[in-house]
Structure 1
Amino acid sequence: MWGMPASVREDHLLDFLGSLELERGLSRNTLEAYRTDLLQLATFLSEKGRSLPNATESDLAAWTASLATGAGDVPGVSAATLRRKVACLRTYFKWLRREELIEGDPTRHLRSPARDRRLPKVLSREEVGALLTQPDVTTAAGLRDRAILETMYACGLRASELTGLELARLDLVEGTLRVIGKGGKERMVPIGRDAQTSLSDWLEKGRPAIVGVKEERRVFVNQRGGALTRQGLHGIVSRHAKTAGLEGRMTPHTLRHSFATHLLAGGCDLRALQEMLGHADAATTQMYTHLSNEDLKESYFAAHPRARL
């Protein structure tokens, strides 16, 4: 049973549940589930110094992301449970607006998992940390693999974006890279310190040993010095996933899902994450205003667990 956090107005909560009982005839079990959901959210918000009515879009996204992935020994909730909790949030904040207790609706862009569709596989921070330590950085190939894993997790790149990344689009002085995403759309993504270090080591020590005097535009190459393919990337990730005890649990795209989920859980602004991911869904992209590169970098370094400036 959830206690009543200090940040919760008990009269608001009772009025809300009472309105559901009278207007919609919800069962006692459903009302208790809604009450539990809201108290759970209130506890999460109280750690951020917020109350239920003052929750933002980013707060709600962070909470639902944490529910989906779990924490420590606590597993993530099922898609059905997450759908119910999102429905509860929408109903509650709609009621607050109707009662003129708030002006905006922080749930207007909150999405529920699709029915009969599995949630994306996401690694915990500890699992990502274990994966990143697998490459043998005393070898050129190991320096490459470490840089690949760090970059995919630090920047949330798709496999094709990682293999297509060119030297001219990488700026380690500014700590940014420019990628060409779906539809040929270019976007800027900040790079955290750990990824910058790994990339520098690869470019200065590992890559010259493999490429030699060849002219190759791509940042990441295969053992023969040619451009790395998506199949080659999949093999690299799978090999290190196996030694990290993650065999069968991840693909290169899992690092992109983990990037997004960990940033949301860390409080990253939704609009900044939208820009960094380069979502192909135009309707979703249009929901948010375009941010400047400096705004993106500020949101990224504040939220990503391996940025550490």
Structure 2
Amino acid sequence: MLRPEVLARGSARPALPGGPADFTEAWLRNRRLSEHTRDAYRRDVGAWLAWCAGREIDPLRATFLDVNAYGRALEATLAARTGRPLTPATVARRLSALSSWYDFLVKLRALDANPVTAADRPRVDRDHSATVGLTPDEVDALLAAAEAETGPTAARNRAAIALLADLGLRVGELISLDVADLGTERGHRSVRFVGKGGKVRRRALTPGTAYAVDAYLTARAAAQRVTVPELTGPLLVTATGARLDRHSVFRLVRRLARTAGIAAWAKLSPHSLRHAFATTARAEGVPLEDVQDAMGHADPRTTRRYDRDRHNLDRDPAYAIWAARARRRG
């Protein structure tokens, strides 16, 4: 059982209302996170609290040894989707969420130190991503499959895939878009959204994406017997008018990939298109910092990890140096 009133350094700690769930909600309210990330962190902390309860460990008295034991338990846990043990990256992410939760409690003076700090976390290769990527030809095939679709949701699906492919949006960013987020800026068609970290961002719509979005909104307005300017609410909606959810987008990507004959269709995700966006942009000579800005990455190393073609010897700078030397020698 949590005991926020425990004493430290001879002085009483400030009272913390409620139990661990209240601590968690207070922590999440103080973080700029998407709703999807909030839910994930909530599950991560809940799993730790359940593990502690099963072993009669007070989370406020847990040590790094307890966290180490929990980490080993996570490493032996089988993922429901794959049936394989959780990856080091997944274990590291869950412990990272737990560490952030404890940091919050330390700031509240509910305990003296974060027990996760001294724990043994799995080593994660920061230069590797488990996401299955797509080649430019495969992205083209996916878009062609969407173009060939007919039916009441075809226009919406084309708009969703175009936004993922041409802008490299995260799935959470895509489904959070509202009609009101569309606009213009200095002659560019644009879309505004809240990115990771709660930062408001704006991206340009390519002519192809703008056409797909306009066609979808025109069809949607006609079905509702209103004009396009009268449309409100979520940009991408279901047949009942509800906001499209991430699970539907996952299913859409895989269904279209299967139709397109992409061998790895069952392993693809919306994030595969985000990786393809980074790889293709870099292959086309877009500077790393511009790709980083477009993707909303705080660290350029993250952008480099998304670039699946970064180790291609065709891009070895030795060639550029040699060519420049050859030109100087005339």
TM-score (norm 2): 0.47
Distance 2:176 2:258 in 1: 25
> CA 1:182/1:118 → structure 2, altered by over 3 Å: closer, same or farther?
closer
Question: Are 1:166 and 1:219, in contact at CA under 8 Å, matched by a contact in 2?
Answer: yes
Matching residue of 1:263: 281
1:171 to 166, 183, 188: 183
Matching residue of 2:29: none
Alignment pair present for 1:134 and 2:106: no
CA offset at residue 184 of structure 1? 0.8
Q: What secondary structure, in the 3-state scheme, does the structure 1 residue paired with 2:202 have?
A: strand
Question: Are 2:190 and 2:205, in contact at CA under 8 Å, matched by a contact in 1?
Answer: yes
Q: CA RMSD in A?
A: 2.9
> CA 1:114/1:143 → structure 2, altered by over 3 Å: closer, same or farther?
same
CA offset at residue 216 of structure 1? 4.5
Q: What secondary structure, in the 3-state scheme, does the structure 1 residue paired with 2:145 have?
A: coil
Matching residue of 2:136: 125
Alignment pair present for 1:192 and 2:206: yes
Given residue 149 of structure 1, which amino acid in structure 2 is its aligned partner? I
**Structure 2, unaligned runs of 5 or more:** 1-123, 304-330
**Structure 1, unaligned runs of 5 or more:** 1-112, 286-309
Alignment pair present for 1:231 and 2:247: yes
Q: What secondary structure, in the 3-state scheme, does the structure 2 residue paired with 1:189 have?
A: strand
> CA 1:121/1:283 → structure 2, altered by over 3 Å: closer, same or farther?
closer
Percent of residue pairs bearing the same amino acid type: 33
Matching residue of 2:257: 241
Q: What secondary structure, in the 3-state scheme, does the structure 2 residue paired with 1:133 have?
A: helix
> CA 1:283/1:269 → structure 2, altered by over 3 Å: closer, same or farther?
closer
Q: What secondary structure, in the 3-state scheme, does the structure 2 residue paired with 1:248 have?
A: helix
CA offset at residue 212 of structure 1? 7.2
- Give aligned pairs, total: 173
> CA 1:116/1:155 → structure 2, altered by over 3 Å: closer, same or farther?
closer
1:277 to 267, 273, 295: 295
1:27-176 aligned at under 5 Å gives the runs: 114=125, 117-118=128-129, 120-135=131-146, 136-171=148-183, 174-176=188-190
- CA deviation digits over 1:216-269, x for unaligned, max 9? 411101121111111121122221111112322411110111011100110112
Q: What secondary structure, in the 3-state scheme, does the structure 1 residue paired with 2:266 have?
A: coil
Distance 1:271 1:211 in 2: 45
CA offset at residue 279 of structure 1? 1.4
CA offset at residue 140 of structure 1? 3.1
CA offset at residue 207 of structure 1? 5.5
1:219 to 225, 235, 241: 235
Given residue 203 of structure 1, which amino acid in structure 2 is its aligned partner? L
Question: Are 1:182 and 1:280, in contact at CA under 8 Å, matched by a contact in 2?
Answer: no
Alignment pair present for 1:205 and 2:219: yes
Moved >6 Å (runs of 4+) = 210-215, 282-285
Q: What secondary structure, in the 3-state scheme, does the structure 1 residue paired with 2:239 have?
A: coil
Distance 1:217 1:174 in 2: 23
Distance 2:189 2:209 in 1: 9
Larger radius of gyration, structure 1 or 2? 2
TM-score (norm 1): 0.50
Distance 2:176 2:260 in 1: 26
> CA 1:233/1:216 → structure 2, altered by over 3 Å: closer, same or farther?
farther
Given residue 166 of structure 1, which amino acid in structure 2 is its aligned partner? D
Q: Which moved more, 1:273-282 or 1:183-192?
A: 273-282
CA offset at residue 153 of structure 1? 0.7
Question: Are 2:221 and 2:231, in contact at CA under 8 Å, matched by a contact in 1?
Answer: no
Distance 2:234 2:281 in 1: 28
